[in-house]
């Protein structure tokens, strides 16, 4: 067994979570396509149900392929444990519901992923749970929104499509001062760019559907527990049974035991397997995604048809400094937004693209474009779209890992046709 902890990230992403000795020497985990696992004795099954062994029982609870991925992802984020689930939304639902009761509140950024926004506003709203949404970079507003009913602070590391970058060190200091954990969605940055637990976050969530799997071939989500938050300091007496059972992994135990397995948000092992394969190239892909995105942003900035470009990699972006501090000068992510004259011009531009795919996803190897105002957000009220910065002139581009010159050539010929 190699000493994983001493490896650099680019090596760790390949070697963490590997146990070829358990896989007959295979370098990828077998896809354990079995709904249930047989036990040698009645005593063994009883011990497993009591949590005294880590053996597998039933696929909705755990699966050996998924566990290999969980170990890899926990190692990459410097967390103590992880649970892999069927989608990013499953991870967000379980991560939040584990802490929420009717009447509770939480504080979150206002530039949320679309389904996260709907979950917080509409679904949680049905259970008398109130999200207090604030500008995610406004730390004074974040602190002012905390009260006795607050159960956690929730932020996205890079907002989409606002591309705002909250200061996670400051946010975690505020949360901790009030005895609250900080939960963050790290999907857009990936652990290659940002490891929020190192910056003070307590829980990290990913949609693994995006950069982690990287090929648009699997859905998944993960909740990673930093294992450092002290649940016994006052606000969380209801966490005591989980602390008694699992100590530093109390929160993850609650996510898994009380929510994940009862909601049935299980991921099929094929998705864990595909994500394991994808992760082998995460570092290389992120490097190329980000180098390409910077080139595309610079190209778009000088095109007369483009009215504005929103990317934290541009020195003029308000998030540029925080991104440099927080992402260790590695880059600024692979997603950008830009403006054209109006919706009609956006449609003409998209319809002229030849190589770039037009679809609702991001973080794929392939470059992807979408007009969010008329697609994902088409049925949102106008004031909500405005609050989320979803304007009719906005194009969102997830820059792929093709040759930058080909991405730019496709954008260029599509823009040429708008004249
Ligand atoms: C896609 C996405 C999600 C939801 O993930 P799914 O796997 O589609 O459920 C959550 N957060 C962010 C930032 C995302 O981009």
Q: How many domains does the chain have?
A: 2
Could you tell me if 220 and 79 lie in one domain? Answer: yes
Cβ atoms of 203 and 183 closer than 8 Å: yes
The model's pLDDT over 363-407, given as tens digits with 9 standing for 90+, comes to 999 999 999 999 999 999 999 999 889 999 999 999 999 999 999
Ligand 1 near 113 CB (within 6 A): yes
Position 266 confidence tier, pLDDT thresholds 50, 70, 90: very high
Could you tell me if 289 and 235 lie in one domain? Answer: no
What spacing in Å lies between the alpha carbon of 160 and ligand 1's midpoint?
10
Ligand 1 atom nearest 220 alpha carbon: 7
Could you tell me if 17 and 125 lie in one domain? Answer: yes
Instruction: Identify the CATH number of the domain in which residue 347 sits.
Output: 3.90.1150.10
Position 4 confidence tier, pLDDT thresholds 50, 70, 90: confident
Q: Which of 113, 162, 267 to mutate to test the pocket of ligand 1 (most atoms within 8 A of CB)?
A: 113
Average pLDDT over the chain, rounded to an integer = 96
Question: Distance between CA 254 and CA 95 in Å, rounded?
Answer: 9
Q: For a pLDDT cut of 90, what percent of the chain falls above it?
A: 96
Neighbours of 153 (CB within 10 A): 29
Confidence (pLDDT) at 26: 96
Instruction: Identify the CATH number of the domain in which residue 224 sits.
Output: 3.40.640.10
Ligand 1 near 364 CB (within 6 A): no
Could you tell me if 267 and 295 lie in one domain? Answer: no
Confidence (pLDDT) at 419: 83
Q: Are strands 150-156 and 182-185 parallel, antiparallel or unpaired?
A: parallel
The model's pLDDT over 212-231, given as tens digits with 9 standing for 90+, comes to 999 999 999 999 999 999 99
Ligand 1 atom nearest 188 alpha carbon: 13
Residue in the structure block whose two tokens are 């159960």:
151
Cis peptide before 161 (omega within 30 of 0): yes
Could you tell me if 184 and 274 lie in one domain? Answer: yes
Query: Whose CA is closest to atom 1 on ligand 1?
Result: 207
Task: Please give the average per-residue pLDDT across 11-39, as a whole number.
Answer: 96
Q: Which of 87, 210, 368 to mutate to test the pocket of ligand 1 (most atoms within 8 A of CB)?
A: 210
Residue 222: partners with Cβ closer than 8 Å, 6 or more residues away = 69, 70, 73, 82, 83, 84, 85, 91, 205, 206, 208
Task: Please give the average per-residue pLDDT across 347-373, as a whole number.
Answer: 98
Could you tell me if 292 and 214 lie in one domain? Answer: no
Confidence (pLDDT) at 3: 79
CA 79 to chain centre: 15
Query: Whose CA is closest to atom 6 on ligand 1?
Result: 88
Residue 150: partners with Cβ closer than 8 Å, 6 or more residues away = 104, 105, 106, 107, 132, 178, 180
Question: Is the Cα torsion angle 251, 256, 258, 264 positive or negative in sign?
Answer: positive
Ligand 1 near 184 CB (within 6 A): no
Q: Which of 258, 279, 300 finishes a domain?
A: 279
Question: Is the Cα torsion angle 293, 193, 314, 318 positive or negative in sign?
Answer: positive
Residue 139 token pair:
């730390």
Neighbours of 101 (CB within 10 A): 12
Could you tell me if 261 and 222 lie in one domain? Answer: yes
Could you tell me if 95 and 195 lie in one domain? Answer: yes
Q: Which of 255, 279, 303 finishes a domain?
A: 279
Cβ atoms of 260 and 85 closer than 8 Å: yes
Could you tell me if 342 and 228 lie in one domain? Answer: no
Domain that holds residue 98: 4-279
Ligand 1 atom nearest 92 alpha carbon: 10
Query: Whose CA is closest to atom 4 on ligand 1?
Result: 88
Question: What are the distances in angstroms from CA 236 to CA 48, 49, 89, 184?
Answer: 28, 26, 24, 19
The model's pLDDT over 361-374, given as tens digits with 9 standing for 90+, comes to 999 999 999 999 99
Could you tell me if 10 and 53 lie in one domain? Answer: yes
Backbone angles phi, psi at 95, to 5 degrees: -60, -40
Question: Distance between CA 109 and CA 132 in Å, rounded?
Answer: 8
Could you tell me if 256 and 309 lie in one domain? Answer: no
Question: Distance between CA 292 and CA 10 in Å, rounded?
Answer: 19
Query: Whose CA is closest to atom 2 on ligand 1?
Result: 207
Ligand 1 atom nearest 89 alpha carbon: 9
Query: Whose CA is closest to atom 8 on ligand 1?
Result: 88
Question: Distance between CA 68 and CA 52 in Å, rounded?
Answer: 20
Backbone angles phi, psi at 325, to 5 degrees: -65, -45
Task: Please give the average per-residue pLDDT across 113-124, as a whole number.
Answer: 96
Ligand 1 near 87 CB (within 6 A): yes
Question: Distance between CA 154 and CA 175 in Å, rounded?
Answer: 10
Q: Which of 246, 279, 312 finishes a domain?
A: 279
Position 5 confidence tier, pLDDT thresholds 50, 70, 90: confident
Backbone angles phi, psi at 108, to 5 degrees: -140, 160
The model's pLDDT over 272-311, given as tens digits with 9 standing for 90+, comes to 999 999 999 999 999 999 999 999 999 999 999 999 999 9
pTM: 0.97
The model's pLDDT over 106-117, given as tens digits with 9 standing for 90+, comes to 999 998 999 999
**Bridge partner list, 154:** 108, 183
Position 2 confidence tier, pLDDT thresholds 50, 70, 90: low
Burial 208-227 (b: 16+ CB within 10 A, else e): bbbbbbbebebbbbbbbbbb
Question: Is the Cα torsion angle 290, 292, 295, 301 positive or negative in sign?
Answer: negative
Could you tell me if 292 and 268 lie in one domain? Answer: no
Position 64 confidence tier, pLDDT thresholds 50, 70, 90: very high
Ligand 1 near 188 CB (within 6 A): yes
Ligand 1 near 210 CB (within 6 A): yes
Q: For a pLDDT cut of 70, what percent of the chain falls above it?
A: 100
């Amino acid at each position: 067994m190699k000493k994983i902890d001493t490896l650099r990230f680019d090596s760790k992403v390949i070697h963490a979570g590997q146990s070829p000795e358990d896989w007959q020497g295979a370098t990828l985990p077998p896809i354990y396509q079995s709904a249930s696992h047989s036990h040698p004795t009645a005593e063994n099954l009883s011990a497993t149900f009591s949590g005294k062994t880590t053996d597998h029982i039933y696929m909705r609870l755990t699966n050996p392929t998924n566990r290999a991925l969980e170990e890899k992802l926990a190692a990459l984020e410097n967390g103590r444990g992880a649970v892999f689930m069927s989608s990013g939304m499953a991870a967000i639902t379980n991560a939040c519901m584990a802490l929420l009761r009717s009447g509770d509140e939480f504080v979150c950024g206002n530039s949320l992923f679309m389904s996260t926004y709907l979950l917080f506003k509409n679904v949680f709203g049905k259970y008398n749970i109130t999200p207090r949404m604030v500008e995610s970079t406004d730390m004074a507003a974040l602190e002012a929104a905390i009260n006795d009913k607050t159960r956690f602070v929730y932020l996205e590391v890079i907002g989409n499509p606002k591309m705002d970058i909250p200061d996670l060190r400051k946010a975690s200091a505020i949360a901790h001062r009030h005895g609250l954990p900080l939960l963050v969605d790290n999907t857009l940055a990936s652990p290659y760019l940002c490891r929020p637990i190192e910056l003070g976050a307590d829980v990290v969530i990913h949609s693994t559907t995006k950069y982690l799997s990287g090929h648009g071939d699997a859905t998944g989500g993960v909740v990673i527990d930093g294992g450092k938050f002290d649940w016994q300091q006052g606000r969380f007496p209801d966490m005591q049974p989980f602390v008694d059972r699992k100590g530093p992994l109390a929160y993850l135990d609650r996510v898994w035991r009380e929510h994940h397995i009862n909601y049935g948000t299980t991921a099929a092992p094929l998705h864990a397997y595909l994500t394991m394969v994808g992760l082998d190239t995460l570092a290389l892909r992120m490097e190329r995604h980000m180098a390409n995105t910077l080139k595309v942003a610079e190209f778009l900035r000088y095109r007369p048809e483009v009215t504005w470009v929103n990317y934290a990699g541009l020195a003029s972006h308000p998030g540029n400094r925080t991104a440099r501090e927080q992402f260790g000068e590695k880059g600024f992510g692979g997603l950008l937004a830009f403006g054209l004259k109006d919706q009609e011009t956006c449609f003409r531009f998209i319809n002229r693209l030849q190589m770039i795919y037009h679809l609702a996803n991001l973080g794929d190897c392939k470059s992807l474009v979408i007009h969010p105002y008329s697609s994902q957000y088409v049925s949102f009220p106008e004031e909500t779209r405005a609050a989320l910065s979803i304007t009719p002139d906005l194009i969102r581009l997830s820059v792929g890992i093709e040759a930058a010159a080909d991405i730019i050539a496709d954008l260029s010929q599509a823009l040429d046709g708008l004249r």
